Chain A
Amino acid sequence: NAGVTQTPKFQVLKTGQSMTLQCAQDMNHEYMSWYRQDPGMGLRLIHYSVGAGITDQGEVPNGYNVSRSTTEDFPLRLLSAAPSQTSVYFCASSPSTGQKPYEQYFGPGTRLTVT
């Protein structure tokens, strides 16, 4: 198992550009999520999905879009990059038991800089 993979590892964007951060998992997990990690603020949930075709917003969804067309993939799209989106982005997945997802498995992260 590769676990949770993220690409790219590093990215520099100019303000106003768009891009997609890729996330894939090979563990057949139902639940997937995206976080951003900023110094002193821990991780904040951007969007999450409880299964293919189902997505919902987290704490900080503005400026980001997601879709979940397959169980394996959960891409995060930045529509028009802003310097405030400079951060480290983590994707995570979790098996779900009934209504509760349990422990999450994290990808290695993508470090994004917007100039």
Chain B
Amino acid sequence: GDSVTQMEGPVTLSEEAFLTINCTYTATGYPSLFWYVQYPGEGLQLLLKATKADDKGSNKGFEATYRKETTSFHLEKGSVQVSDSAVYFCALNNFNKFYFGSGTKLNVKP
């Protein structure tokens, strides 16, 4: 069945460091791909999305490119801030069902 695998955390970075969180997926057909962010005690918020191969999603300095050949959707940011500390989830949507990765906790230290 469809699934999403993302790197385990926690990831600890200093402010202004470069961030990569790896995400790979398994799916039939042509899924849409998403990154969501969750702050403590809250629900998930959409960070960015891509709906077809080679699309690049971007928002608030975060980027991810839909790579069908490597079935990946890695999240990147050039310079993280303390306020980026949160849990990040990679997800896919295929045939009306959403599948989420297990989440990666990011800690950014000043």
Binding site for B on A (CB under 8 A): 4, 31, 33, 35, 40-45, 48, 50, 56, 58-59, 90, 92, 99-109
Contacts and interface: CB of A to CB of B under 8 A. Distances in A.
Shortest Cβ-Cβ A-B pairs, 8 listed: A106-B43, A42-B100, A43-B100, A42-B102, A103-B46, A106-B44, A108-B43, A42-B103
Interface of B: 4, 32, 34, 42-46, 49, 51, 89, 91, 93, 96-103
A102 B49 contact: yes
Contact of B32 (A50, A56, A100): A100
Given A90-B44, A100-B32, A48 B97 contact: yes
Contacts of B97: 45, 48, 58
A100 to B, nearest CB: 6
Contacts of A58: 97
Contact of A103 (B43, B49, B101): B49
A35 B97 CA distance: 11
Contacts of B45: 106
A104 B46 contact: yes
B51 A102 contact: yes
A104 B89 contact: no
29 contacts: A4-B43, A33-B98, A35-B100, A40-B102, A41-B102, A42-B4, A42-B100, A42-B101, A42-B103, A43-B89, A43-B91, A45-B98, A50-B96, A58-B97, A59-B99, A100-B93, A101-B93, A101-B96, A102-B32, A102-B51, A103-B34, A103-B46, A103-B49, A105-B46, A106-B44, A106-B45, A108-B43, A109-B42, A109-B43
